[in-house]
Amino acid sequence: MLSKRLERGYEAGMRKVLMVVLAAGLLAGCVGASRWTINRRQRDTLKVKLGMSEEEVKAIMGKPDRLEAGRDDAGKVTEVLLYQTYFTGDSIMFPPKPEDFTPFVFVDGHLEAWGSGPQ
């Protein structure tokens, strides 16, 4: 009888541990890009060339982490796609810092410039 109670208690405890581990894993995945994604993006930036269309850059880099856009007085549309290509934090569990992102600047749909993160 005591053995069955201990067994059930052990199983319940293990389920709780498993749930906590799964929740932590999901939370970590939602905070920022994975280290694997960041490493891949660092390599992929070498394939990007000035003058490429936004679609060409997205085909190389994937979906951006952030997007900013605006229109100047002359009516030209400027879009900035931001990709996390660095991780300068103490842990992947914390949100990325602004300097962790590389901006890709498009004017009228073509790449005019892109920056680099920390050196």
Report helix, strand or coil for 46: helix
Helices (H), 1-119: 2-31, 35-44, 54-61
Q: Could you tell me if residue 86 is inside a domain?
A: yes
Residue 2: the pLDDT is 57
Q: Could you tell me if residue 87 is inside a domain?
A: yes
Q: Return the bridge partners of 71, or none.
A: 77
Residues 10 and 55 in one domain: no
DSSP state of 53: B
Residues 85 and 109 in one domain: yes
Residue 71: the pLDDT is 93
Residues 27 and 37 in one domain: no
Residues 57 and 2 in one domain: no
What is the extent of the structural domain holding 61?
33-114
Judge whether 116 and 89 are in contact, CB under 8 Å.
Answer: no
- Name the domain count of the chain: 2
Residue 88: the pLDDT is 80
Judge whether 70 and 58 are in contact, CB under 8 Å.
Answer: no
Judge whether 63 and 84 are in contact, CB under 8 Å.
Answer: no
Residue 76: the pLDDT is 92
**Listed residue (97, 98, 102, 96) closest to 83, CA to CA:** 102
Q: What does the pLDDT look like over 15-30, one tens digit per residue?
A: 554 444 444 444 444 4
Q: Could you tell me if residue 119 is inside a domain?
A: no
pLDDT per residue as tens, the chain (119 positions) = 556 665 666 566 545 544 444 444 444 444 467 888 889 999 999 999 999 999 999 999 999 999 999 999 999 999 999 999 988 876 666 788 888 999 999 999 999 999 864 44
Residue 23: the pLDDT is 45
Residues 50 and 1 in one domain: no
Whole-structure pTM value = 0.67
